[in-house]
Structures are given as structure tokens and as C-alpha cells.
Structure 1
Amino acid sequence: MNIFYSDYQVFQFINHLAVTVPSMNPLMRFLAKDAEYLFYLGVIIYWLTRSPINRRMVATALLSACAALGSGGIISHFFYRDRPFVTHAVIQLIQHPANASFPSDHATGAFVIATAIWMYRKKDGIIWLALAALIAVSRVWTGVHYPLDVLTGAFMGMTSAILVYRLFESSTLGKNVLNTCMTIYEKMERKLGA
């Protein structure tokens, strides 16, 4: 069976939930459009606590996000896929440009940050991973991504966060580079705060 045919069948099932369970549509619109800002806010709050572990976690999340989203941008040029609403009649609950659908930047970004948090703070990370999963589902529910788009984005985000975490926590060179950067930043922060 063709993987894209199966992907489309799963898409149809999830997207049609907008008709069968319309009471969930406002939540799905919020998750698909605005829930990513909760991740940005979370990163800022963790950073501002000035806890060394939180700062390592945020540095890991940001570098992982750069790697994952950069890779996603490259992949989207080589494996271009139209959005579902371009190719099919769908229930589209949010507006979106008709650009590349694969992989999902929203899923990549949400899962890269959630996984980075999970690597350092397991209990917090479970909550963030659950939110990332809801965002991924909402992108299909609202008609702007196929399931394969969000699954690939989730995989890329998680893989990137795990690799960068291992670089910083297992590699002496990676650990030293991160510690040096953090020390320089904190000296500047103290100097500007004085």
C-alpha cells in the first residue's frame, strides 16, 4: 500500500473530527495557531530563573531548534509536498500560506523544545511533550498538515534535541564550549545589571 495514500486516509479521519466533534475546534485552532507561544514563554521563564541547569537546558533547546528547523527547511526544498488544502477538499479551520507542508515546522519546534526540557527535567518535560503532541494533532485537525508531516517534524525535533544534549553532556569539548559561553554571558549579565 502506498504510504502517501495511507497518510491521506489518516489525515481524512483526523480532519473530519472537525465535523464530528465541533466543540473541540476552538481548542484545535488555538493549538494550531497560538500554542507555540507557550513554548517561547516557557523558554524565557526557564532562562530568567538563572538556574544553571535551566540555562543549560535553554541553550540546548535553542541550538537544537536551529539545527532541526534548518534541516527541515532544506528537506522541504528537496521533498516538496503541497499542503492538504492545495491538493484536496479539506475542512480548513485556520488560514495558512500554500507553502511546503513537509516537514511541519510547528511539530519540529514544539518537539525540539519539549524534548530538550525532558532531557533535563523529566516531570516538566512530560507536560511539554504532551503539549507538543496536541499541537501536532491540531495541525492535521485544522487541515494544514498531513500526519506524516507532523510525525517527521516530531522525529526531527526529538532527534536534534537528544544529539545536542549528548554533545553538551557527554563530550568534554561540548561541555567546555557550553560552560565557557555560559560564563562569558553571565559575566556580561552581571556587568550590565550593576
Structure 2
Amino acid sequence: MAHIIFLHGASSSGKSTIAKDLQQHIEKPFWHISIDHLRDAGVLPSGRFKSGEFRWADARKPFFNGFHRSLRAYADAGNNLILEHILDTEGWLEELVDLLAEHDVFFAAVHCPLEILVQREAARGDRPAGSAKKDFETIHVGKRYDIELQSEDGTDTNVERLLAAWRTRSRSSSFAESKFA
């Protein structure tokens, strides 16, 4: 059984910053994995999507199906994961609960004030305008977490709180519910 710390929050909420710091402080080796890593490594033909030669709408579903299945493969092989992801599509939570059912998933919400999300989104320039606001309004609805973090509390505080909660082995999130059904 692998350990998975799943950081879920709006675009630009601070998931990557928390993940990087967490990876430096946790007592076991953990991979840090996200869609951004794949994009930044050139896995996707991003330029051709931007030019309109390829349609992201046609590639999105198979891309995320593969990404989600790869998470299970990494965990099944014994790799611990710090996963940052945005569950912005109906059915993804249920799909990942099923795919990762054999593993210890600690589900952490990362919250950030809307004003800060909008500022960060504009500064980054790599997200569609308005995606942070849409995420802010929708992605946490109906989800149960093992811990809820506030980005304005600072990275050090959030990582300390997350590690303390993770170490208790107490799980009550949407992922833990499936283990008791």
C-alpha cells in the first residue's frame, strides 16, 4: 500500500508551493506529481493546441484518463505520491476513489481567497482567464477532506498542520468513506 497525499484546490491556490515544501519535510520518499509537471516537461504538444492545429477538447478526456490510471500504476508499484490536482470534472472524484482504493489517500483541501487567486492567475498567464474564479466557486462542493488548509496561513504552518494530521493515520475524507462502504 502506497501513501498518497492529495492536494486539491483551485488553480493558483498554492498547491505546488505546499507540495514542494512537504516533499522536503516528510520522513518517507514521495514523488511530487501534477499535470503542470507533464505540461512543463513537454509531454503535451501545447504549442499545437494553442495554434489550433489540435483541439484540446478532443484530447482532454483521454489525457486525464491516462493521467488518473498512471497514478494508480505509480502507487501500485509502491511509490508514495504527493499529488496536486483540480477535480473540476464530474465523475473524477469517484474515478480516483475507485482507482486508488487499495492505497492510503490523505485528501487535503487548499483554500485561497478569491482576490488572491485572481491576482495569481493574471500573474502566471498560463491559465484561461476566469478559471481560478470558477474553481473557487465549484471544486470543493460536496467533497469531504481529511484536512482543510488556508493558503494565507503560510506554507510552513500548512505543511506542519498537514504532516501532524497525516501522521495520525485518521482518515475521514471522500477517499476513506469507500473503505468502509
The reply to whether TM is greater than 0.5 is: no
User: TM-score of the superposition, structure 1-length normalised?
Assistant: 0.28
Greater relative contact order (Cα 8 A, min sep 6): structure 1 or 2?
A: 2
Q: Which has the higher helix share?
A: 1
Larger Cα Rg: Structure 1 or Structure 2? Answer: 1
User: TM-score of the superposition, structure 2-length normalised?
Assistant: 0.30
